[in-house]
Structure 1
Amino acid sequence: MWDRLKQINPVFLVLLALIIVIAIISPHFLAPTGYMNFLKRAAPIAILAAGQLFVITSGGFDLSSGALVTLTVIGSSILLNGDPNATWWVISVMLGVGVCVGVINALVVAYLRVPSIIATLGMMITLGGIALTWSGGAPRGYLPDTFRFFGRTLIKDVPLIKILPVSVIVMVVICGLLWWLMHRTNYGKMLHSLGDNPKAAAFAGVPTVPVRMLAFVLSSLSAVIAGILLGGFAGVSTDVGTGLELQAITAAVIGGAQLLGGRGAVGATVAGALVLQAIFTLLNMLGFPKPLRDVVQGLILISAVALATYRRRKSAG
């Protein structure tokens, strides 16, 4: 049994421990409204982290995802202009923008040989500038109920759980598709080999540019979907996506992803996002201010990276 326990990713044990602590402090958390609202709040970052994982596994970073979330919310509110009939074509346009952003990031990294952290940092600044210029630096327009449906609608009278947020359904579907792509297709194998050793992957016949491009596109599409959910229950804001890219990277690292590439699991990354949300929930319950939350997130990221580096060196030795 001890050998079996050692094979379990620690992130699941940490998540269980945090849930127990939260339930002790606030027994209401165990009610359907408690844990479903928790999952509703965690859904955007879980989707964002699952998409970010593809870029991390390939050996890169996507720092533009948070700015793309902001652009999605602001751009959708301006394009919609309060018209509920425009919801679907606006969502299609924003998904198209996400594809374009992912392709540009991948081309800059693959052909111009720019490190992904620099390329996506430039894209982050560019998208942030576009969003601020387009909106005039202040929220404009509003999101109709047809758009906000995905983020704030609750399906009531569901057997056993009573309520089911639509955002949780979206999270399960999107993360399930990403899990299948990562762990049940040849693309996932090629992605891991690319991140583990790019030169060896190229010699083995892996189409490195298309594999890397799809990883960036999936990350950008996940950012757009996360933006749609955040716009649904948070409304229009010019800083809605600020810092989310670091939260996504932190969630992936907590789940065991290697920042140098070659290793990552979608299920563990989603669990890492839930751990991050559970920590934030616990800090709020204890009355700690938001700046302390940022400190805790930074310490978690540093500790997780240090631990992952130590394990990699130990296994290599």
Structure 2
Amino acid sequence: MTETGTERVSAHDANAATSGWRRLRIRVIPPIPPIWLVLTAVAAIVVWRDPLFAEPASLAAFLKRSAPLLVLALGQLFVIVAGEFDLSVGALMTACVVIAARVGEGDPNRTWWIILLLVGLGLLVGLVNGVVTVLLRVPSFITTLGAMFVLSGAVFLWTGGSPTGALAENLRQFGRSTMTGVPLLGSLPYAVLVVVVVAVLATVLLHHTRFGHQLFAVGGGVRAAMLSGVDVWRIRTAGFVISALSAVVAAVLLAGFAGLSADAGAGYEFQAITAVVLGGAVLGGGRGTTAATMGGALTLQALFTLLNLFGYAKPLRDSAEGLLIIAAGAYTAYRTRRSG
């Protein structure tokens, strides 16, 4: 028996319709990053260990603690997508907290111009990191490591190792206060609202603008990007500036619930890199998404919560973070080889 022309056309139309539906479904419903499945599993274990974690108040507190890391990781993503690192963000966070307390002296009338001062500091640090890395051709690992030591040393010399002053209440409200009367939830921390705003801005900037496309192009190959007319210096420097500004926002959130400390931002630079790598970004640049990065940050914070519930000390938490970096880096390298 032979297939008629009408039957062949019908089969072709059916296949085309099915293919079109699949493309539409992928476009409308983007694939879920794998890290969110890992987050679900870790969160389930946390709830099994502590059922109260599933309560709205506990979830709100968890998101409030996670807010500084979420913001910082989103900023770090821009640098890593461009093929660089930023190790100075933790020291910059500490400097911002110390400056806000020392200069502000708890006076709420000084808060807004202090925030402008901190933004100016972030711009300066980001520009210096970008200029030294791109124009002077110093590896970003060395550049930002040096910036980390400069900021840490400057804070120590200024405070003598014991920061003084006070953080104004209207400055701390961003990271500590809560909006009440929210439908369904009852209350919602201001820090969560800040994270939502930052996440939307980062997503639009990275995935839906010409700048974001150029950032991916630079991370994918500097020479090819230059031949395509991309201003590599401007793009990479902008990535460092965005990372530094995210550290300023994260510092304000951290100051809200952690208060004044000589090592407020210690370790956050490595946590941010871990979160980005867990989200599937390639350390060589050219790949990464904001949704997966946020999943990586929340997974890391959930893992820390789980280790605390089991009563493990901080050194074990640091060891777990190191293992996560190695495992995530190995997985992304393997995936890159398979796709290549």
TM-score tier by shorter-chain length is: over 0.9
- The superposition leaves residues 58-99 of structure 1 with CA deviations (integer Å, 9 ceiling, x where unpaired) of 000000000000000001101101211000000110011000
Alignment counterpart, residue 30 of structure 1, candidates 33, 54, 58 = 54
Q: Using the TM superposition, give the Cα deviation of residue 314 of structure 1 relative to its aligned residue in structure 2, in angstroms.
A: 2.4
Please tell me the residue identity of whatever aligns with 1:140.
T
Partner SS for 2:244: helix
Q: Distance in 1 between matches of 2:141 and 2:90?
A: 14
Aligned to 1:103: 127
In the alignment, which residue of structure 2 is the partner of 1:147? 171
Offset of residue 144 of structure 1: 1.5
Distance in 1, matches of 2:337 and 2:178, equals 47
1:266 to 280, 284, 290: 290
Aligned match of 1:17 in 41, 48, 51?
Answer: 41
User: Which moved further from structure 2: 200-209 or 22-31?
Assistant: 22-31
In the alignment, structure 1 residue 58 sits paired with structure 2 residue 82: yes
What's the counterpart of residue 162 of structure 2?
Answer: 138
Letter paired with 2:296: G
Following superposition of structure 1 onto structure 2, how do residues 37-116 of structure 1 map, counting pairs within 5 Å? 37-116=61-140
Q: 1:315 Cα shift?
A: 2.1
Letter in 1 for 2:86: D
Q: How far apart in 2 are the matches of 1:206 and 1:57?
A: 15
1:128 to 152, 177, 182: 152
The offset of 1:157, in angstroms, is: 2.4
Would you say 1:117 and 2:141 are equivalent positions?
yes
Letter of the structure 1 residue corresponding to residue 272 of structure 2: A
Question: Does 2:310 correspond to 1:286?
Answer: yes
Q: How does 1:150-161 map to 2 (within 5 A)?
A: 150-161=174-185
* Structure 1 Cα separation of the partners of residues 35 and 304 of structure 2: 16
Following superposition, the deviation at residue 195 of structure 1 comes to 0.2
* Corresponding position: 1:314 with 2:334: no
| CA-CA distance at 1:23 after TM superposition | 1.5
Question: Match of 2:119, as an amino acid?
Answer: L
User: In the TM superposition, what whole-angstrom CA distance separates every residue of 1:262-299 from its partner, at most 9, and x where no partner exists?
Assistant: 00101110110000000000111111111110010000
After TM superposition, list the pairs within 5 Å mapping 1:208-287 onto structure 2: 208-287=232-311
Q: 1:7 to 1:85 in 2, by over 3 A?
A: closer
- Following superposition, the deviation at residue 178 of structure 1 comes to 0.7
1:183 aligns with 2:207: yes
* Runs of 4+ in structure 1 over 3 Å off: 4-8
Q: What is the CA RMSD across the aligned residues, in angstroms?
A: 1.6
- The one-letter amino acid paired with 2:127 is V
- 1:295 aligned partner: 319
| TM-superposition CA deviations, 1:83-133 (whole Å, max 9, x none) | 110000001100110001000000001110000000000101001111111
Q: Which sits farther off after the overlay, 40-49 or 131-140?
A: 131-140
| Alpha-carbon separation, structure 1, partners of 2:63 and 2:31 | 26
Residue ranges of structure 2 left out of the alignment (5+ in a row): 1-21
What residue in structure 1 maps to residue 9 of structure 2? none
SS in 2 for 1:164: strand
Residue segments in structure 1 that go unaligned for 5+ positions in a row: none
The Cα shift of 1:309 comes to 1.2
Rg: which structure is higher? 2
Q: Which piece of structure 1 moves more, 133-142 or 88-97?
A: 133-142
Provide the C-alpha distance between the structure 1 equivalents of 2:108 and 2:54, rounded to a whole number of angstroms: 36
Indicate the residue corresponding to 2:225 in structure 1: 201
SS of residue in 1 equivalent to 2:35:
helix
Aligned mates of 1:167, 1:82 — CA distance in 2: 20
- The letter for the 2-side match of 1:217 is V
Task: State the Cα deviation string for residues 235-263 of structure 1 (Å, max 9, x = none).
Answer: 00011111100000000000010000000
Question: Please, what TM-score do these two structures have when normalized by structure 2?
Answer: 0.90
Offset at residue 7 of structure 1 (A): 4.8
User: Aligned partner of 2:189: which letter?
Assistant: P
With the length of structure 1 as denominator, give the TM-score of the two structures: 0.97
